[in-house]
Structure 1
Amino acid sequence: MSTTPSPLPATPALPDASDEWLRLDQQICFRLHAASRAFNGVYRVVLKDLGLTYPQYLVMLALWEHGTLPVKKLGEHLRLDSGTLSPLLKRLETAGLVRRERSARDERSVEVRPTEEGEAMRRRAVEVPRRVLAATGFEIDEVRALSARLDALTAALDRAAAEGA
């Protein structure tokens, strides 16, 4: 039985004035980029009390959720490569919030876990999502719907990239 790869979906036809689609304000990627930068601005203010940057906060969220993780797995959760993740972990370790150790099961693997101080920060961080939600002006159901759409978009783009777009 022969299996042939499924063809990529047909490129959708753009509505009439296709030059209009080359405008910056017509690019969904730019809208997502602008929203991401705006979120970073809000997080910068909200996270100031914790002394964390947004990427450091994401690391702590993953560790609070999963506990001890191999660096590789942590990178997968955060969609970060080791070149980006290693300096983040070094700064968090210097701040006393995480500890990195060679795995007892596999010496090639380094595991990361929150320290006692890192775990204590979790209680103070509980207000962060509430403050960010308030900054959006959205209701929780709107945020959940947007999150679902963004998850679907991410999955579609991952598939397209894997198939060579």
Structure 2
Amino acid sequence: MQTPDLGEDPLALDRQVCFALSVASRNVISLYRPLLAPMNLTHPQYLVMLALWERSPRSVTDLCAALHADAATLSPLLKRLEAVGYVVRTRSRSDERRLEVALTDEGARLRAEAEKIPYRIVETLGVELSALEELHGLLSTIIAASRRALDARNGGQA
């Protein structure tokens, strides 16, 4: 592979992908906070709920895979969601080692309110939907490439 031309200063802050991703992520997540607050959700909890609104119940292992998170990160989120009455955690009847998470009726009802959020975010950002979809595709490519790199670096255990 040919060495890419990274310009005169490859360490210029405003040219760093990590910096742009970090600032964009922090800013966009900040836009979600006031929309999630009336639902008593943080952004990480919202991501868990999104996964459960797609399919419930789900095993913790399945949720970890869907959210690209580890069980130690997910466990406190699930405890908090259970404490507010949005989910229940139970041991699988077929395998006691397997912990399953399911939406409660209240958690399922919350979806109707949450469906407004993506529209509000698109409106607030003021960016064309096609540009956001293109960005999402590019970020998905970056996520897949970084996962492959991490898997290779960690011997397949990223």
In the alignment, the residues of structure 2 paired with residue 77 and residue 23 of structure 1 have an alpha-carbon distance, to the nearest angstrom, of: 34
- Counterpart of 1:37 in structure 2 is 26
| Cα deviation 1:110-129 (Å, max 9, x = unaligned) | 00011000001011111111
Instruction: List gaps (5 residues or longer) in structure 2.
Output: none
CA RMSD of aligned residues (A): 1.5
Are 2:46 and 1:57 equivalent residues in the alignment?
yes
Deviation at 1:16, TM superposition (A): 4.6
Question: Hey, what does 2:145 align to over in structure 1?
Answer: 156
Evaluate the alpha carbon distance shift between residue 92 and residue 13 of structure 1 in structure 2; reply closer, same or farther with a 3 A threshold: same
Kindly name which structure, 1 or 2, has the bigger radius of gyration based on alpha carbons. 1
Structure 1 distance, partners of 2:45, 2:148, is: 28
2:90 corresponding residue in structure 1: 101
Amino acid at match of 1:30: F
1:112 corresponds to: 101
Render the CA deviation track for 1:121-145: whole Å, top value 9, x for unaligned. 0111111111111122112211111
> Which one-letter code corresponds to 2:93 in the other structure?
A
Deviation at 1:11, TM superposition (A): 5.9
Partner of 1:5: none
Overall identity of the aligned pairs, in %: 42
Q: 1:21 to 1:113 in 2, by over 3 A?
A: same
* CA distance, structure 2, for counterparts of residue 110 and residue 160 of structure 1: 30
The SS at the match of 1:58 is: helix
| TM-score of the two chains, using structure 1 as the length reference | 0.88
The 1:80/1:15 distance shift into structure 2, 3 A limit, reads closer
Please state if 1:13 is matched with 2:8.
no
Q: 1:147 aligns with which of 136, 145, 152?
A: 136
Structure 1 unpaired stretches of 5+: 1-9
AA of the residue aligned to 1:90: K
* 2:45 is aligned with 1:27: no
Alpha-carbon distance between aligned partners in 2 of 1:148 and 1:57, rounded to the nearest angstrom: 21
Q: Is the 8 A contact 1:46 1:132 kept in 2?
A: no
Q: TM-score, normalised by structure 2?
A: 0.92
Give, in whole Å, the separation in 2 of the partners of 1:96 and 1:156: 37
How many angstroms apart in 2 are the aligned matches of 1:96 and 1:41? 25
Higher relative contact order, chain-length normalized (CA < 8 Å, sep 6+): 1
- Listed one character per residue, the Cα deviations across residues 68-103 of structure 1 (whole Å, up to 9, x for unaligned) are 100011011011111110000000000000000000
